[in-house]
Structure 1
Amino acid sequence: MMKYLLGIDQSTQGTKVVLVDQDGQILRKVTRNHRQIISKQGWVSHDLREIYQNILFLVRKLLDDPKVDSSKIVGLGITNQRETATAWSKMTRKPLSESVVWQCSRAKDICDRIAKTGVEKSIYKKTGMPLSPYFTAAKFTWLLENVPEVKTAADAGDLCFGTVDSWLIYQLTEGKSFKTEPSNASRTQLMNLETGNWDDELLKIFGLKKSYLAKIVDSNDKFGTTDFEGILDHQIPIYGVMGDSQAALFGQRCVDFGDVKSTYGTGSSIMMNIGSKPVWSQNRLMTSVGWKIDGAPTYVLEGNINYSGAVIEWLKDDLGLIEHSADTEKMAYQANKADKTYLIPAFTGLGAPYWNDKATGTIVGMTRKTRKNEVVRSGLESIAYQINDVLQLMKKDTGCQIKTLKVDGGATANNYLMQFQSDLLQAQLKIPNIEELSVLGSVFLAGMQLGIYNEQVLSEAVEYKTFEPKMEIDERDEKIHGWEKAISLINV
């Protein structure tokens, strides 16, 4: 009998629900965006109620298709935006605050305060990540110190803190399961990389209690069961849960040491599989857990960029330079090749490998002949430059020569960007024929646990389009030198 799995991809801009068959092919996909709540201070938040209701709406919409036989659905995989902080009541399951989105740096003052105590090296040694408001721990602290409802719940023993996976699992299981797994937990800055557990010293540093947090289990653990509040007529198990970047790595089958991928989403996660033992970066990159399957962890080296695909949205929604995201490709090809404009999209600081929270966005190198096409092209190229910076440092940390970069995310449809990325890296780029690699990664893991998928099925589920480098080395080096000079003007 044909069996199907559901996948939920709860990402920064919206939520996607997919139906996947036993050959690993997506049969149906439904999506819905949620509001981006931006305060006057520039803080970024999401309405957790809206997100959860969107999931129920999408599952109902997917199952409304008469071609979908819901009785054949046997499991669920979940992937999610990662460092976003959520808080809710244990008793009522209701959110106590809007979420603090991963992009948001409102916890900067908390990190500055913690840094003055001299614990930054200890934090890095335990977590593989520098102290930063980017990660969830400082966001939790901010919520505890600034939202009265959160403080009241904490005092009453009624507080749940979690990344988005924990929030969704808690809701979908009607409060029966309060769990997370290492790909998400390792991004909170509260999990000890070597023990795989919440760390007492880290909790003390951030003024938090272990009782606030979910239980850490394997990525292929049984996270509970759900019928989506009666939308399905039977309960299905939740078996595969991973943060979106790690799930994309898994979906791309980057399962061997040195395999590397880059996700082009709102931001970018550049990630390399570094095997069964953690490697601490000497170049300001981060070490995290990729996944933990049947008790065996796989570690990754990662660099995160705050603004990649979001640059294109900024060009469209805020500057009005383009009507559609796809317009950027044609405009980039039409731009003056001699123009040397560089856009530094540090709208909320710079992430890896600069870690400069104070940096602000700027455009460098404009002349009187710089026009709309050139500005749009500089926005596209800024994505590739940032990603290349991270990849070069990964090579230094691991000694791996990157011959192939697998990529995923919406911006991979832009041929100009993909060719430029290949040229900067001087390596082959492989673009899958399926955009939804993050959600497929979690579904693949769930399906493996249910005995539906094996490695042969997964290796044949995705086909690739390839880009090869074309740019002359001298031209490439000149462009990178110009980028480094532009970055140096603000990286102080």
Structure 2
Amino acid sequence: MQRYILALDQGTTSSRAILFGRDGSVGGHAQQPFRQYYPQPGWVEHDPNEIWESERAVAAQALRESGLGRAVAAIGITNQRETTILWDRATGEPIHNAIVWQCRRTADIADALREKRGVSELVAEKTGLHIDAYFSATKIKWLLDHVPSARERAERGEILFGTVETWLIWRLTGGKVHVTDYSNASRTMLFNIHTLSWDEELCALLDIPMNILPRPVSNSEVYGTVAEGIEGLEELAGVPICGAAGDQQAALFGQGCFTRGQAKNTYGTGCFTLMNVGGAPVRSRAGLVTTVGWSLNGETTYALEGSVFNAGSAIQWLRDELQVISTSHECDILAESVPDSGGIYLVPAFTGLGAPYWDMYARGCVVGITRGTTKAHFARAVLESIAYQVTDLMTAMRQDAGCEISLLRVDGGASVSDLMMQFQADLLRIPVDRPAMVETTAFGAASLAGLAAGVWKDLDELSTLRCSERVFTPERAQYECEELYRGWKRAVGCAQGWVEKK
């Protein structure tokens, strides 16, 4: 019987479970959305119990419908990063909703840190990150400061912190294992990426008790086993959980970017461009961040990363808030009905701008509207806005890397748009390679677990499993693309100037 890896892919808007065979084929799949909470403008929350229940439910469904429960050799987990959960060590109950990576409520905490002399440089040197509300550290501080008695309970050792993979591993093991993998730890702004350990100085700076932090572990090793008696997962009792990585690092791994200089972009709720920079961290000078890619067999691979906060979420905004479209696919259909965006630019800075701008106060805007602007132009402008933001990231990455990037591998839900992928290739002037199997994030988690479980031998074997579905090459004239991009930069200036900074 073929052995399968169960990948749990816990994203920002949905939970998924995918069973991968040794040949990379999908043996079963299930997906379920869960609620988004917006208690105030710019605030985003999730219910941690809903995260767990939705992930448990899709895993149970995938096993039930495939009949492959007995064939599962290992479990790998990938997750929305930076999202912050605090829970009671004894009861397992969250003390508050999770603060999602997109949430901007802690912008004032980040501002105060930046104002302290030398702190920005300290954070950048130790963590590879910029001080921003995006990362977990300010979210932990906010919860400790605002949830009644949370700080006192934390200091007594009654509270645990985790990003989403930590929470899922803790639940799957029946509360026995409290760990975080290096890639997720490197997104907290508390983790020293050189020593691969929590940094006491940074924790003290934010007044975060270190006893709430999980034990950092590599991305491919046995963390624990599934506990008995979990509803729908009874067949998995005793199966090792032995792979974990933040969603973007998992996608880099799943895309087979094992060599220094290889890059990928994931088009999801946000956009995330990562480039493998090898065994030593590269300090960004162009507005990117340095992060742990993965640690495997005692060797750590680092990556440069650029993050766009709102990409696919702009399509969701058209669908859910403006109700211009009824399905995400309709955005493509509308966009293809017009030859261009009619001169309009949409900057989806709904929760600020990420790399390379790092402007927490920027807000979304639309410029260039005329009486002839239609909803089709809006749809096209939304798709183009995603490609423009990735171009911002790639431009910065080329500067930092000091070398040309000759190919961009792509994945994520929005990468199915041929129109957007072609526009992306035109802007970047390089081929854009979309794989035949687009579930690269989940496959990255499965690969890490499969290596630990002996399902795959090494990276060379994994590399043979990737093949391209389509490669988009530049078609539009370069001068025309440069002119369009200059218009985008002017539109970004409008988004940045809208809200007066504190």
TM-score, normalisation: structure 2: 0.95
Tell me the CA shift for residue 456 of structure 1.
5.0
Name 1:271's counterpart in structure 2: 274
Shift of residue 262, structure 1, vs aligned partner: 0.3
Q: Equivalent residue for 2:114?
A: 115
Deviations 1:80-137 (A, max 9, x none): 0001001011111111111000000111111122222221121111111110000000
Letter in 2 for 1:461: L
Q: Does the Cα contact within 8 Å between 1:23 and 1:457 map onto a contact in 2?
A: no
Q: Output the CA distance in 2 between the equivalents of 1:284 and 1:10.
A: 28
CA shift digits 1:44-95 (9 cap, x unpaired): 1001111111222222222222x52322211100000001001011111111
Q: Deviations over 1:299-335 (max 9, x none)?
A: 0000100100101000111111112111222222222
Give the Cα separation in 2 of the matches to 1:175 and 1:64. Answer: 25
Amino acid in structure 2 at the alignment position of 1:488: G
Report the 3-state secondary structure (helix = DSSP H, G, I; strand = E; otherwise coil) of the residue aligned with 1:386. helix
Alignment check: 8 A CA contact 1:354 1:491 kept: no
What are the within-5 Å matches in structure 2 for residues 21-170 of structure 1?
21-65=21-65, 67-118=66-117, 119-148=119-148, 150-170=150-170
Cα distance, 1:227 vs. partner?
A: 4.3
Contact 1:111 1:138 in 2 (8 A): yes
Amino acid at match of 2:12: T
SS of residue in 1 equivalent to 2:220? coil
| Aligned residue in 2 for 1:382 | 385
Deviation at 1:149, TM superposition (A): 5.1
Q: Could you tell me which residue of structure 2 aligns to residue 450 of structure 1? A: 453
Corresponding residue number in structure 1 for 2:500: none
Q: Tell me, what secondary structure is at the counterpart of 2:328?
A: coil
Counterpart code for 1:247: A
Work out whether 1:478 is the aligned partner of 2:480.
no
CA distance in 2, matches of 1:91, 1:338: 55
Matched-pair contact (CA < 8 Å) for 1:24–1:457: no
Aligned runs of 1:253-402 on 2, under 5 Å?
253-337=256-340, 339-402=342-405
The residue aligned with 2:473 is 468
Alignment counterpart, residue 423 of structure 2, candidates 420, 424, 434: 420
| Distance (Å, rounded) in 2 between the aligned partners of 1:336 and 1:22 | 44
Name the SS of the counterpart of 1:240 in structure 2.
strand
* One-letter identity of the residue aligned with 1:347: F
Contact 1:172–1:229 under 8 Å retained in 2: no
RMSD: 1.4
> Number of residues paired by the alignment?
491
Aligned equivalents of 2:116, 2:490: Cα separation in 1? 34
Q: Which residue of 1 aligns with 2:213?
A: 213
The aligned counterpart of 1:487 is 492
**Structure-1 separation of matches of 2:34 and 2:495:** 33
Letter in 1 for 2:399: K
Q: Please, which moves more after superposition, 458-467 or 297-306?
A: 458-467
Task: Say whether the 8 Å CA contact 2:155–2:209 is kept in structure 1.
Answer: no
User: Which of 231, 234, 240 pairs up with 1:232?
Assistant: 234
Asked whether the equivalents of residues 83 and 100 of structure 2 are also in contact (C-alpha less than 8 Å), the reply is yes
| Deviation of 1:411 (Å) | 0.5
- Equivalent position of 1:187 in the other structure: 187
Whole-angstrom distance in 2 between the partners of 1:89 and 1:334: 53
1:193 shift after superposition: 1.6
Q: Deviations over 1:382-405 (max 9, x none)?
A: 000000011011111112211110
CA distance in 1, matches of 2:14, 2:406: 33
Q: What letter is aligned with 2:197?
A: N
More off after superposition, 254-263 vs 123-132: 123-132
**Structure 1 length as normaliser, TM-score?**
0.97
Please state how far the C-alpha of 1:412 moved relative to its aligned partner: 0.8
Give the drift of 1:457. 4.2
Letter in 2 for 1:373: A
Give 1:370 deviation, angstroms. 1.4
**Is the 1:18–1:29 Cα contact (8 Å) retained in structure 2?**
yes
1: CA distance between counterparts of 2:288 and 2:257? 19
